[in-house]
Structure 1
């Protein structure tokens, strides 16, 4: 079957655990009216429902392992369908994480317009995650030292394989700077893409 037609602008937001994807997504959502879909949040919400799917997802998250793609695509597609009537675009935060996932997303949901990749050293990522864990009101299942190590390993093994497939969509942004400095680069990337789409 032919790939689905683009529904609305779709931006994949990628980067290592703790790089600050969520903070940038909040700013993008505020400026452009995009709907922010964090795969991690969607999966954790599914766990809270206590469904069979949620129970199976919980085991993967606790270990820091990647959740099977069928489950991730299921929760993503549901969230997109629920929001597409009023959304101006979608920020898909933390997906794709493995080489074949991007193709699966584009085949079943919609092509992505662009990829924002936030880049920071592993040392910076570790510090930010530990800071988040220390200041969070609700502890995440995967902010333990063991789970962090596994998440880093998964990220390092898969990241380049994902990005290498999309040389024409891929924008690397230095995330070692302040949130506002990083966001300036984001606006410089998104403005031309969105003005083309409106034309």
Structure 2
């Protein structure tokens, strides 16, 4: 099972990715987590990523892709597949992921797009009560998402990989819809 989760911030990608990964015993690969792990382990790419993070800059695509390449080459992924959460976020990242997967003889099975409207996202993120989650910041994050990540919806739809799931409602029901979309028995 090789699945990517897409959707706006606050759509429930992390929650659902973890649930699906646990249900099918597949590694959950969250970009932020593997970035922090690479930094902690002191790998060459981890050191490079840390140099950007220490300056408060975004880690460039080539570094992130390198770290993802390392993770996707590990035995657990080779034997079970993966759930990718938080990557790709841009069209160039999606194209780089395609090249990477092709180079290691893998291909995506499905891309799950959790669709949640803006007002629901704002409500959810405000209810988390984080200091950095005020309405202006949230709306800006949604605007960035629309510009950078939303084009991936058409990209993966064009490849016949996209499954759009309504991300509003009962968490268990949403999980079940995802399981059905992936097309595995569970």
**Which residue in 2 is equivalent to 1:112?**
108
Aligned partners of 1:47, 1:124: CA distance in 2, in Å?
34
Aligned partners of 1:79, 1:147: CA distance in 2, in Å?
31
Does the alignment pair 1:125 with 2:115?
no
Residues 37, 93 of structure 1: 8 Å contact kept? yes
Residues 35, 83 of structure 1: 8 Å contact kept? no
Aligned partners of 1:130, 1:44: CA distance in 2, in Å?
26
Q: TM-score, normalised by structure 1?
A: 0.75
CA separation of 1:69/1:86 partners in 2, compared to 1, >3 Å: closer, same or farther? closer
**Which residue in 2 is equivalent to 1:70?**
62
1:133 deviation in Å? Answer: 4.6
1:34 deviation in Å? Answer: 1.1
1:81 deviation in Å? Answer: 2.0
**Which residue in 2 is equivalent to 1:4?**
none
**Which residue in 2 is equivalent to 1:187?**
179
CA separation of 1:85/1:174 partners in 2, compared to 1, >3 Å: closer, same or farther? closer
Residues 33, 87 of structure 1: 8 Å contact kept? no
Does the alignment pair 1:24 with 2:16?
yes
1:151 deviation in Å? Answer: 2.6
How is 1:85-100 mapped onto 2 (pairs within 5 angstroms)?
87-100=79-92
Does the alignment pair 1:60 with 2:57?
yes
1:87 deviation in Å? Answer: 4.6
Aligned partners of 2:68, 2:7: CA distance in 1, in Å?
18
Of 47, 52, 62, the residue aligned with 1:51 is 47
**Which residue in 1 is equivalent to 2:149?**
159
- Residue segments in structure 2 that go unaligned for 5+ positions in a row: none
CA separation of 1:71/1:86 partners in 2, compared to 1, >3 Å: closer, same or farther? closer
How many residues align? The count is 174
Aligned partners of 1:129, 1:185: CA distance in 2, in Å?
23
- Residue segments in structure 1 that go unaligned for 5+ positions in a row: 1-8, 62-66
CA separation of 1:55/1:18 partners in 2, compared to 1, >3 Å: closer, same or farther? farther
CA separation of 1:163/1:75 partners in 2, compared to 1, >3 Å: closer, same or farther? same
Aligned partners of 1:163, 1:52: CA distance in 2, in Å?
30
Residues 47, 57 of structure 1: 8 Å contact kept? no
Aligned partners of 1:55, 1:75: CA distance in 2, in Å?
14
